[in-house]
Amino acid sequence: GENVEQHPSTLSVQEGDSAVIKCTYSDSASNYFPWYKQELGKGPQLIIDIRSNVGEKKDQRIAVTLNKTAKHFSLHITETQPEDSAVYFCAASRYSSASKIIFGSGTRLSIRP
Amino acid sequence: DAGVIQSPRHEVTEMGQEVTLRCKPISGHDYLFWYRQTMMRGLELLIYFNNNVPIDDSGMPEDRFSAKMPNASFSTLKIQPSEPRDSAVYFCASSFTGPGGEAFFGQGTRLTVV
C-alpha cells in the first residue's frame, strides 16, 4: 500500500536554532502534502500545506519544500521557540474526494531553553 | 464555531464492557472521520462518512467496532466487547474537502481498557 516515511522520530534543538523534518512518499500521484502539529493532550492541527504545483511555501517561521522528482518534502522551522515543542506529522494524499490521507509516523520536537 | 467536539475526554472501562465514543463535527463539514492513535501504529483511519453515509470502513479492526452517523451533527464509535488492546486515543475529525484534504481534529478520547 501507499506509505509515508518520516525522519527523525525525535529531534532536540536549542531555542533559536532551526529544525528540519523530512518525509518521503511512495504514491507518485500524490499532490497534496499537509503538516500537522500535535501538542500534548490535543488533536493534530494543520499548520501548513503545499500542493504539487509549487516547490516551496512559507508562513512566518515555517516553510515547506517539495521535490516531486525525488518524492521528498520537508518542514523547516526557523528561530525555534519553546511553544514549537510538539509532535509533527507529515502526510500525503491525492487531493480528491476519494483519496485518503496517509500520515507519517511523527517527529517529537523538543526545544531546549 | 467551537471546532470538533468529542466526549468523553477520558474513558476507563473493564474488559468486556461496551464503550461508546461521541463526536460533533464542525457545522457545514460534509465529511467525518474516526482515527485511532497508538504508539505502535501511529494515526490510523478507521472509517469515514460523507453526508452521514459510511464510505470506507476498511480500517475498522474487527466486528467489535461499529460507527454510526444518524445526522449531520452527531456520530458515535462503539466497541463491544472492549479488550485491553483497544486502549488508544480515538480522534474524530471533520472536513469540507474530503478525505484527501484539510482535516480538523477534535481533542480526542483517551480510552483505557483494563
Calculate how close chain A gets to B55, using CA atoms only, in Å. Answer: 9
Q: Residue B1 — very low, low, confident or very high, per pLDDT cuts 50/70/90? A: low
pLDDT band at B36 (very low <50, low <70, confident <90, very high): very high
Residue A98 has pLDDT above 80, yes or no: no
CA closest to A37 among chain B residues: B105
Smallest CA–CA distance from A103 into chain B, residue: B43
H or E stretch including A103? strand A102-103
In this predicted model, what pLDDT tens digit does every residue of B49-67 receive, in sequence order? 999 999 999 999 889 999 9
Q: Which residues of B touch A41 (CB under 8 A)?
A: 107
Question: A100 touching B, CB under 8 A?
Answer: yes
Tens-digit pLDDT profile for residues B84-112: 999 999 999 999 988 888 999 999 999 99
Are the C-beta atoms of A56 and A67 separated by less than 8 Å?
Answer: no
CA distance A113 to A107: 19
A94 DSSP β-pair partners: none
**Contact call for B43 and A45, based on CB within 8 A:** no
pLDDT, position B85: 96
Contacts of B101 in chain A (CB under 8 A): 32, 93, 95, 101
From A26's Cα to the closest Cα of chain B, the distance in A is 16
User: Span A59-80, mean pLDDT?
Assistant: 97
The per-residue b/e assignment along A46-84, b for 16 or more CB within 10 angstroms, e otherwise, is bbbbbebeeeeeeeeebbbbbeeeebebbbbbeebeeeb
> For strand B109-113 and strand B10-13, is the pairing parallel, antiparallel, or unpaired?
parallel
Query: Percent of chain A having pLDDT more than 90?
Result: 89
Percent of chain B scored above 70 by pLDDT? 99
Band (A97; pLDDT cuts 50, 70, 90): low
